[in-house]
Amino acid sequence: MMQRDDVTVRMAVLKDVIRLAELDRSIFSDYWSEKAFISSVDSKMEIVTVAVLRDTEEIAAYAAVSYVLDECNINRIAVAPEFRGRGLGTYLLGCIEELLSPDVTIFNLEVRESNKYAIEMYEKFGYTVLGRRKNFYRCPTEDALLMTKRKV
């Protein structure tokens, strides 16, 4: 996987679930429960990765994806508010794509249309908007943009 001096990316384990659920609750209005994270961590069709700060061993960001054959859905990429602006989301996205290559060639995701930082990041990685899900998100109600990347 890609290397950074300040962060280690590894697969999430069950002992991470409480921290992941806490982070998710602080970031998303449609947050996942501990039970949902346990299910994802235990699944053979999903991957949950965590970005751990090397100096404090704190989980600063995480990504959760599901995949079947050559297609992946990015369910979550999240960075703790106090660690934003350090490129951790970008780093995790690169790690996920590298980890799943060359088997996965299609990556899909939904993103709030107001999340300009995330949209910009995905576009830099070659994702394009293919559609919209009307009123997909709650609290606040907002459309989701459907973004896809196809690797050749």
Cα–Cα distances in angstroms (integers) from residue 51 to residues 20, 80, 133, in the given order: 11, 10, 30
pLDDT band at 1 (very low <50, low <70, confident <90, very high): low
pLDDT tens readout for residues 15-58: 999 999 999 999 998 899 999 999 999 999 999 999 999 999 99
The DSSP H or E segment spanning 122 is helix 116-124
pLDDT band at 152 (very low <50, low <70, confident <90, very high): confident
Comparing C-alpha atoms, which of 68, 88, 86 is closest to residue 77? 88
pLDDT tens readout for residues 51-91: 999 999 999 999 999 999 999 999 999 999 999 999 999 99
d(CA 77, CA 62): 6
d(CA 87, CA 92): 9
Average pLDDT value over all residues in the chain: 95
E-strand spans in 12-58? 46-53
Q: CATH number of 7-109: 3.40.630.30, 1.10.287.130, 2.40.30.20, 3.90.1170.50?
A: 3.40.630.30
Q: What is the pTM of this model?
A: 0.92
Q: Which amino acid is at 24?
A: D
The yes-or-no verdict on residue 2 having pLDDT over 80 is no
Beta bridge partners of 150: 106
Preceding amide of 81 cis, omega within 30: no
